Amino acid sequence: MGERGLQGRWRWGWPVMLLGLAAAVPLLVWLGWSAISGSSDGTDVGGPVDPSAPGYQAYVDPTPTLLLIHGDGDGLEGVTLLALTDPGVEGAVLFLAPETSTPAGPLSVRWDQAGSSGVADGVAELLGVRAGELQVADDGGWAALVSAVAPISFDNPDVLVSATGEARFESGALALAAADVGPYLGWRNPGESPVAALFRHELFWGVWLEKAALSASPDVFPGEDDRGVGRFGRALAKGRVRLEALPVIVDAGGAVVLDAAAVGEMVNEVIPFPNSASGGNSARVRLLNGTGDPALIPNAARSLSRAGAQITIIGNASEFGWETTKIAYHHVGFASYAEGYRDALGAGSVVAEEQPASSIDITVTFGADFAPVPGGGG
């Protein structure tokens, strides 16, 4: 496919892809649950071994995530969060500008002060989700990551110039050599908005993953195939990928501030089972099917995830035939969370059920009154 053909598909096909991703989330959650419940790796809680039987429960592994940090001794160049919503089927690559504000200063400052751990902590504070893996790449590291498929060719939307006006990367047809990828991704035109610069990241990643998907090389992504970019790149190249900068607001002082509501919805969409940030405010939720209808599980999981729940156990009630959904909180501090989850589900009653020794904060058992709207939030 020519560069201009790829650009056309990017511009017009992306909205369709987003709609497809949103529509597929219930299926993805169900596929993830099916994989967990059908495994023999010790993730079951105990009791029945048949996932369709009353009383069956299993732990839910967090959605795989990787925080890829582009930086070196000269500063932070980029921050990218990769998520495997359903490995090999759906995933996401989300971009943050180094200037993004956190409670303890911009991510770029966190990098200068504490390196990759400072950036990881800042991202966790912003998103309420801590990435399961962390990888740092400088310009040399980026050259190694893309070497198997370089050069990477596409239509560059902007001429990139130095402070003296010298053109470093021309606009139009551009073939990036491996050694040029890091500088290209980290480049800023004089006075350029950090938000606008992230469009080039989206463009590059789309072309890189497409080219990797077409490659027959076993080393198309360097490194192990069970961790890092080696694992995530292979999985993302096989499926549909959401490529998007996290929504931000640039205030009057030029600070880049995440749009918390929009970001929360996006993160809950692509990371249905998050690894909650340390000290975060997510409730640990056990989700039980009280109806016996497995088709309702993904809808309930999606509704709760969008409301910020950290679903850690999923399964069936001890018996089916529940008419009314019950949201039971086990610690008094989670009463307000339970109320919020009832609103998200659009059904049920909230009750207090003390379980002092439980690691679960809230148990949601959905009944026949839970009637999700297809494609909606519940």
Residue 334 pLDDT > 80: yes
For residue 372, give the nearest of 16, 17, 25 by alpha carbon. 25
Alpha-carbon span 333 to 343, nearest angstrom: 18
CATH of the domain at 177: 3.40.630.190
56 and 177 both lie in a single domain: no
Mean pLDDT, to the nearest integer, of 300-326?
90
Same domain, 126 and 257: yes
**Distant-in-sequence, close-in-space partners of 281: CB < 8 Å, separation ≥ 6:** 128, 308
Residue 241 confidence (pLDDT): 96
Residues 282 and 138 in one domain: no
Which of 235, 270, 305 finishes a domain? 270
- The pLDDT of 334-339, averaged and rounded, is 95
Whether residue 336 lies inside any domain: the answer is yes
Q: Which of 270, 304, 329 delimits the end of a domain?
A: 270
| Those residues with Cβ within 8 angstroms of residue 71's Cβ, 6 or more apart along the chain or in another chain | 77, 78, 111, 116, 119, 136, 138
Tell me what the mean pLDDT of segment 97-119 comes to: 96
User: Per residue in 68-93, pLDDT tens?
Assistant: 999 999 999 999 999 998 888 899 99
Query: How many domains, the chain?
Result: 2
User: 56: pLDDT confidence band, cut at 50, 70 and 90?
Assistant: very high
Same-domain check for residues 213 and 95: yes
> 233 with 325, same domain?
no
How does DSSP assign 146-213, residue by residue?
A: HTTT-SEEEEESS-EE-TTS-EEE-SEEEEE-HHHHHHHHH---TT--HHHHHHHHHHHHHHHHHHHH
Q: How confident is the model at residue 156 (pLDDT cuts 50, 70, 90)?
A: very high
Note whether 54 and 164 are same-domain residues: no
Query: Is residue 34 situated within a structural domain?
Result: no
pLDDT digit string (tens) for 191-213?
888 888 899 999 999 999 999 99
Q: Does residue 320 fall inside a structural domain?
A: yes
The continuous run of DSSP H or E covering 144 comes out as: helix 139-146
Residue 33 has pLDDT above 50, yes or no: no
Q: Which domain holds residue 53?
A: 40-62+274-366
- The residue out of 214, 243, 270 marking a domain boundary is 270
Which tokens sit at 272? 């249905």
Residue 254 lies in a domain: yes
Residue 35 lies in a domain: no
**Same structural domain, 55 and 125:** no
Quick check: is 21 in a domain?
no
Does residue 229 share a domain with residue 136?
yes
Clarify whether residues 215 and 291 are in a common domain. Answer: no
Residue 147 in domain: yes
Retrieve residue 207's tokens. 């072309």
261 and 344 share a domain? no
Same domain, 266 and 279: no
Helix (H) or strand (E) holding 79: strand 75-86
The CATH number linked to 45 is 3.30.70.2390
Helix 194-214 with 3-37: angle, nearest 10 deg:
80
102 is a domain residue: yes
More confident residue, 38 or 100: 100
111: helix, strand or coil = helix
Does the pLDDT of residue 279 top 80, yes or no? Answer: no
237 and 300 fall within a common domain: no
